[in-house]
Structure formats: C-alpha cells, structure tokens
Chain A
Amino acid sequence: MAKIKLAKSKVDKLVEICKSFNNEGSELINVLHKAQETFGYLPAEVQEIIARELNVSVAHVYGVVTFYSFFSMVPKGEFPISICMGTACYVRGAEKVLEEFKRQLNVPVGETTEDGKFSISCLRCVGACGLAPVVTIGERVYGRVAAGDVADIIKEYQS
C-alpha cells in the first residue's frame, strides 16, 4: 500500500463505506459516489484505500474516476457550480454563461477559487431541457440563465 496521508478517522470512514457495499469490486462506482459525497473529492489516497478494500487494482479505480466527469480528484468549492452543456442548453447559450462564470470567478473549468468557495464544472443534461440553459449550484437549480444573470447569482452566495 501507499504511504497513506489521510487521517485515521477518514480511513475508517472509507473502510466503513466499502463494507456497506460488501467490499464488492462490482460496486466500485457506488463506493466512489459515496466517498465523494463524504469527502467532497477523490484524492489518490482515497482511491488507494478503496482499491485495497474492494480488492481491485488502483489503476482500475483511477481509470473509473477519470472516465466519469462526475468524479473529481480536486476538492470542489463550498458552492459547486455546474453548467449544463447538453444539446438544448448549448444551443440556447450555455457556452456564454459558462464563459461569464469563468470570467467573474477567474477559474477554469474543473478548478476551485482560491478562497475555496466556488468551483466550476460542466455536465451533460440534468433533464430540465425546458429550462435551458440550466445551471446548478449545490442542490439548487437555476433555469433560463443568461450571461447577464451571472453576477447576481454569484452575489447570492457571497454574503
């Protein structure tokens, strides 16, 4: 095993998560979901422990983590912003909205602002195409967002 740099409580938590899925290698995606929900992201150390607990190779875990855009190896912000780039949102101007978020927060897609407050990611369709373009921040959904709305949306979270 790698030189684990996580706190013991976190390791224990991960072991518990894996156990709740019977340490089945085939449950890898569910375990990763739960782990990301718990820790906010999936750093290398977390992947090492999951691989050990599920008895699969670390390379395989890393392969799955890098395949799905939902999984992240960098910490997400306190308020994770996701801009839908699905077909409907895209044709209705999602790209301009994305550019505006990037400009205002000064971070590229997949990264987090220095104060740890916001992170930007893209996703493909949240199933609310009637509201296109759609932006989600945490659990909250914003519909028919225009580039001009971005500053106001960010302001809501800055107080």
Chain B
Amino acid sequence: MRLAFSKEDLKMEKMIKLTIDNKQIEVPQGTTIYEAAKQLGIEIPTLCYMHLGDMGIEHKPGGCRICVVEVEGRRNLAPSCNSKCEEGMVIHTHNMRVLNARKTVMELMLSDHPFDCLVCAKSGNCDLQTMAHQFGVRELHYKGEQSTYKVDYSPSIIRDMDKCIMCRRCETMCNDVQTVGALSAVNRGFESVVAPAFEMDLEKSTCTYCGQCVAVCPTGALTEKDHTNQLIRDLADPKKTVVVQTAPAVRAALGEEFGMEAGTLVTGKMVSALRQLGFDKVFDTDFAADLTIMEEGTELLERLQKHLDGDKDVKLPILTSCCPGWVNFFEHHFPEMKDIPSTARSPQQMFGPIAKNYLAKQMGINREDMIVVSIMPCLAKKYECQRDEFKVDGDPDVNYSISTRELANLIKQANMDLSIMPDEDFDNPLGESTGAGVIFGATGGVIEAAARTAYEVYTGKTLEKVDFEALRGMDGIRSATVDFDGLPINIGIAHGLGNARKLLEDIRDGKSEYHAIEIMACPGGCIGGGGQPLHHGDSSILKKRAAALYREDEGKAIRKSHENPYIIKLYEEFLGKPCSELSHKLLHTHYFDKSNEIEIE
C-alpha cells in the first residue's frame, strides 16, 4: 500500500502520451496503465488490485495476473496495475493474446479452487465467479493439487482458506489500514496462505472482528458467521416474542442490495419489510444511540468538571466506546489504557437490557421468552453480543446480530422486493429517535451528537445551530474545537484503526490535547462496516451513504438526544437519571486486558 499522489504533486509531473486500445491519452508521469485505461472508460479486470481513493489506500501487488495487457515491443505481457505508463506506449487490453492469457490464468486459479459455487456463501457476489463467467471459462484444462485447510469459525468471521486466491487484500486492510496485524502471508510456494500467527484460529489472534478483510475479499475465503437460519427458526416459534433493532448505517445501504442508488434512504421500506418478516416489534438502535448520548455525554461532563476542579487523577480525553471493533482493538493492543474509554455500552448493548428489563415488563412477558435481534452494518457486533458481561444467567441481552447483507438475503428469501415496499414507521417506545441518533452511523456523528447534548446541558443554553460541520468529513484524523460558552472543548476524530492507533500513541506519550475523541474502527465509520453491501473499492459509495444519514438527521423534527420524549420518559419511569446506579448496572460496562489471551499451541 502507498499513498496516492495528491493533485499538487501531479501538477509538477511531466505528462506522458500513450495509446490504449487505439485511443490516445495524456497522463501524468507515474500513472499506471490500469489507471490510464480507467480514465478512458476501459475497466481492466483484476482480482487483487484495490484502490480506496479517499482513504489513501492502494493495494497493487501485481499478484493475480488477471490485469495483464500487451505493450507493443515488449516480450512479456505487463500487469497493468503496477506497470507505469511510458511515452509513446501502444497498449492492447483485449487482443487475442491478452484474452487467452487472462483465461489461462483464471483456469489455473480455478484448478486450485473448490467447486461448491452453488452453495458458497459468496455465490452471486463473488469476483472470482463473476470474472470466470465474464471470461467465458467453460471447461478447465488443468488438473492439479488442491489446497486443503481446516475451516476456521470465529464468533464473527469464517475463514475458508481453500477458497483463497492470495490476492492479499485482507492483509493490506488488516496490517496497513487497521494496523491490527492479525493476518500475514505464511509459508511458501503452493503451501502459502494468509493466516494468523502460528496458523492458529482467528479467535486466538489479535483480530478485532472489524470485518474489513471480509469487505474486500474477492472470493468466499472470508465471510461472516451467518445467523439467518437461527432467526428464521425464532420467528417461526410462537412462544417467542422477537423484537428487532436496526442500526443507523443499515438504512443508508440496504437499498443497494436491491439495485437502488447508493445513498438511497430506505428507512420506512426496511421497517415494513421487517414487519412482514414477522418481527413482533420493529425498533430502532437510534433510540439506544440517543440513550448512549445521555450516558456518555454525562460521563464526559462529569470527567470534564472534575478536570476543571483540579482533579489530577481524572482520565481525559474520554474516548467513545460505541464501536466493538475499536473496543477489541484497545483491549488487545493498548490494555494499559483501558480505563480511558467511556464505560457506556454501545447502542446495541444498551438496547438489549432496556428491551429485556423495561419493555418485557411493559409487554407482560418473561425475559427468556424475548429474543432481541439486531441488524448491524458490522461483524464485530456478532462477537459483542456474545460477550459474557452482556449476559444474564447465560441469556444474552442481544441474542444475535445479523448484518445488512444477511438482512438483504432474508428479505429476498421472503419474496419481497424492498424497492416497492410501503414506508412504515418504527414501533414505540424504542423506535423513536432523534437526528443525533441517526448520524451515529458516520464518522464524526457520535461526537457531534454528544456535542449537541453536552453543550446544552453544560451551558444551559439552546444551540442556535445544531450542525457541527467542522466534525464531519472523510479525512482519517480530524480535529476541531467546540466553544462551550467560553470553554474550548478540543475534539479529535479517527476512523480506521490505523488512524486510531496514532491518536492512542499520542495519549500514551502525553502529547494529546484532546478532551474527547471519537473512534470508529471502519474507514468511513459504520457506513463502511464489514457487514455492509460490498462497495468493491468504490469510496464514493461511502460518501453517498454518509450524506444520506445527514439528510435523515436534517429531516428529523427533533435533533438532540436529550429532547427525545421517550428517552425523557425512560429516565422518569425507570432509570432515574443518567449515570444513576441502575444505569451503571444496565448500560455501562468494563474492559479487559486481552493481551494475555494470545495462546501458543
């Protein structure tokens, strides 16, 4: 991976003229043949190349050899993704020689790939399958040895390395982007494979379950643990009351699975689809996000007040704790700092105990007869709801979590077309939310929501403008100072764990000037989560999803968490006040030093 050139850099570069498929083009020196062709509208197929422009992520190992092109005058075909354009080059991307080579490479890849396409979790969404089809591969001329690896089932991610084509995109995401270091290419030659250290199971590695490896895997080698069948069984069980909560980022991406434009909001359609599927109540994680703001915002103000009062022991900056991938990250990599993040649980895990302790009582049912399901853009959420501290006598507060992709499949399985579903509203009381809850799904959203409430609670004044535009955007690390009526509050934001690491190292070294920091594990925030419809490397999709959430926020009648009438009622009837004893019991958590849990076998 390396940083792409900025426009300024390119201006200083020499321009180069070349011909691709009989079309002339002029590009700055240093441009690859692949990029130049793209500018001409020629999409050269590739299985390993990956470019997430806005995030500065470029992966071009030149390994898959699918993107080869013919350069006149050269003896060998050139991999276009890592061959640079040169003056006067004449390139052919689809002549007989190229097409034959590409097909042969594909056939060789397929000769060491299982033939279970029909039942593979990735079927229909697999780049390898799509390309084999595109190249017209109808028979395999090569028979050779096949890899056989044990399938690795973790709570969130399934690794089936027989299906790995060694594109090594997952390694780039895990090591360069996320700096998690759970995966590496190991062994050599035919034996080489991407694996955790000592080829242990993922569960025993430093994996955070962020799922970014799954999001970029071109085959079925990395997939999510599927909870759909369990859900179908529970929905069919008349003894069970099944309630669902949907995370903010889901509504901004689900439509893509039904052919809708990225950034189409499908909130109402999703609600009616969930009701059709048979959920007894359709609620919104955004309600729990509002609740999170009440708890986390109060904790921030408490710590801030102590700090202002001269308490030297108070831990600042406070770090957000909504993101389970991020929680796993600091438990593994920065356990010495585990008392800095807010103790507030994530919205998913706040929703669970409110549903099972408050709502169940209102509905007159027993805790064990209620199944709480969450729809999440995230794979780490699957692990999060299995954590022991989120269970009461073995019964999880949230029974299981399914991803946006799994929900899309379930809706299709039920013969529904989301695009023609009517718009319906969430059920109450746990379906009412504010604009502040909605923006939780995008990077900067959690801290903006917190700022809206913390400002008004701290100053006692009403915000003239609720939009904190300085906190928005796609830069990996951002900072802004918010004026709390004369008190400057320094806010830091990081998305992507590699960026989070930088902010954490600053805190550890005593260099951090921030009062509060928001961290989301996935690039873009939850909208770019590992459980979302695959963006296939197109970062404009992430921007459209983020814009959709801000649009929904703008359209909401109430845009500040503390003004949510059902949140006010919940505190009056049940919790007392934010950070009360009952709140601490139900809505807060504690963190563990996971660094000792790495076992060596």
- Write the residues of chain A forming the contact surface with B, with a CB cutoff of 8 angstroms: 1-3, 5, 44-45, 47-48, 56-63, 66-67, 69
Contacts and interface: CB of A to CB of B under 8 A. Distances in A.
A20 to B, nearest CB: 24
Contacts of A47: 197-198
B502 to A, nearest CB: 14
A62 B197 contact: yes
Contacts of A67: 185-188
Nearest to B598: A2
Interface in B183-212: 183-188, 195-199, 205-206
B181 interface: yes
B175 interface: yes
15 contacts: A1-B598, A44-B198, A44-B600, A45-B600, A48-B598, A58-B197, A58-B198, A59-B186, A59-B205, A60-B175, A60-B181, A62-B199, A63-B185, A66-B188, A67-B185
A60 B176 CA distance: 12
A57 B186 contact: no
A1 B206 CA distance: 10
B595 interface: yes
B237 interface: no
Interface in B526-565: none
B600 A2 contact: yes
Given A45-B600, A48-B600, A59-B181, A66 B186 contact: yes
Contacts of A5: 600
- Majority SS at the chain A contact face: helix
A59 B175 CA distance: 10
A47 B196 CA distance: 13
- Majority SS at the chain B contact face: loop
Contacts of A57: 175, 180-182, 184, 197, 206
Contacts of A63: 184-186
B139 interface: no
A68 B334 CA distance: 31
Given A2-B596, A47-B198, 14 more contacts: A44-B198, A48-B600, A57-B181, A57-B182, A59-B181, A59-B184, A59-B186, A59-B195, A59-B196, A62-B184, A62-B198, A63-B186, A66-B186, A67-B186
Size category of the B interface is 20 to 34
Contacts of B572: none
A73 to B, nearest CB: 9
B599 interface: yes
Nearest to A62: B197
B600 A66 contact: no
Nearest to A65: B186
Contacts of B195: 59
A74 B504 CA distance: 38
Contacts of B185: 63, 67
Point out which of A48, A56, A58 has the most chain B C-beta atoms below 10 A from its C-beta: A58
A67 B199 CA distance: 13
Contacts of B188: 66-67, 69
Point out which of B182, B187, B197, B205 has the most chain A C-beta atoms below 10 A from its C-beta: B197
Contacts of B599: 2-3
Contacts of B180: 57
Interface string B589-601: 0000001101110
B596 A3 contact: yes
B596 to A, nearest CB: 7
A145 to B, nearest CB: 26
A130 to B, nearest CB: 28
A25 to B, nearest CB: 11
Contacts of B595: 1
A61 to B, nearest CB: 7
Interface string B557-592: 000000000000000000000000000000000000
Contacts of A56: 181
B596 A61 contact: no
A152 B199 CA distance: 40
A137 B197 CA distance: 31
A3 B197 CA distance: 15
A53 B5 CA distance: 33
A3 B175 contact: no
A60 B198 CA distance: 10
A57 B180 CA distance: 8
B565 to A, nearest CB: 49
Point out which of A2, A58, A59 has the most chain B C-beta atoms below 10 A from its C-beta: A59
A75 to B, nearest CB: 16
A58 B205 CA distance: 9
A45 B600 CA distance: 8
A62 B193 CA distance: 12
Nearest to A63: B184
Contacts of B184: 57, 59-60, 62-63
Contacts of A58: 181, 197-198, 206, 598
Interface in B481-509: none
Nearest to A58: B197
Contacts of A3: 596, 599-600
Nearest to B204: A2
Contacts of A69: 188
Contacts of B187: 66-67
A56 B184 CA distance: 11
B436 to A, nearest CB: 37
A106 B205 CA distance: 36
B508 to A, nearest CB: 13
